[in-house]
Amino acid sequence: MIIAKNLILSIKNFNNKTIFAHSQIRISYFYPMNIAMILTGSRLFTGALFAYFFINAVSKSGDVLNITFLNAAFITAILLELSDAFDGFAARARNQVTDLGKIFDPICDAISRQTIFLSFLLVSAIPLWAFLIFLYRDSLIYLLRIMAAKDGTVLAASKSGKIKAITQAVATFLILIIYYIRFFDANLPFAFMSYPISYYIIAIPVFFALYSGIQYYRMNWNVILKGLK
């Protein structure tokens, strides 16, 4: 009888330890996804939502087909920018700044913004060359980050890159506002010297994209030199 009781107690202790171990595994598995990284990752979702709403709101000729979808696109753009503003603040406030977060944040920024600009390109709101400059610039920055990661170095976003992101955000909302104006008063001119006004708007973030990309490579030229050896 005593042997049986001891056996039952040992089985219970084993089960409790097993459950505790599994719970620790689950906690450690989800631990990297802190609040800051959840906010950062949410931009991938909101970027895709923006594309869906905007493409269904505006025709290829630039006419607004559905104001409800345009409103939804505007709201998702606001949510995207808010997550970009608060993820870094949340990481610093909660002492959750990580190397993964430093890489994950600019990648999510680039993917979500490229999704927005691709949506604009599909309705001819921006020219192809502007979209390609954004795409190639970000791709070359990825290459630099990968090369730095081989040596265990994490390259955080630069100040000029942040200025580029701000000008891209401003351009996004200005282009959306143009479509609102066009919806309520289609008689207003939306071109200057045969080019859409949105082309001139996007030229500013294009300049900062080129400038920040060149500066980023100049600041980290030693990474390139190491990669050539």
CATH of the domain at 206: 1.20.120
How many domains, in total, are found in the chain? 2
Supply the range of the domain harboring residue 5. Answer: 1-31
CA angle, residues 104, 73, 111, in degrees to nearest 5: 20
Q: Taking a C-beta distance cutoff of 8 angstroms, is the pair 171, 202 a contact? A: yes
H helix runs in 1-150, sequence order: 2-30, 35-57, 67-93, 99-122, 128-150
Q: Are residues 6 and 93 in the same domain?
A: no
Could you tell me which residues come within 8 angstroms of residue 154 by beta carbon, excluding any fewer than 6 positions away? 99, 102, 103, 148
Q: Are residues 87 and 107 in the same domain?
A: yes
Q: Are residues 90 and 13 in the same domain?
A: no
Q: Per-residue pLDDT for 15 more than 60?
A: no
Q: Are residues 85 and 115 in the same domain?
A: yes
Q: Are residues 25 and 54 in the same domain?
A: no
> Which of 82-91, 160-169, 184-193 is most confident?
160-169
Q: Are residues 7 and 45 in the same domain?
A: no
Q: Are residues 97 and 200 in the same domain?
A: yes
pLDDT level of residue 19 (50, 70, 90 thresholds): very low
* Number of residues assigned to the chain: 229
Least confident of 82-86, 136-140, 208-212: 82-86
Q: Are residues 79 and 20 in the same domain?
A: no
Q: Are residues 79 and 9 in the same domain?
A: no
Q: What's the pTM value of the predicted model, to 2 decimals? A: 0.78
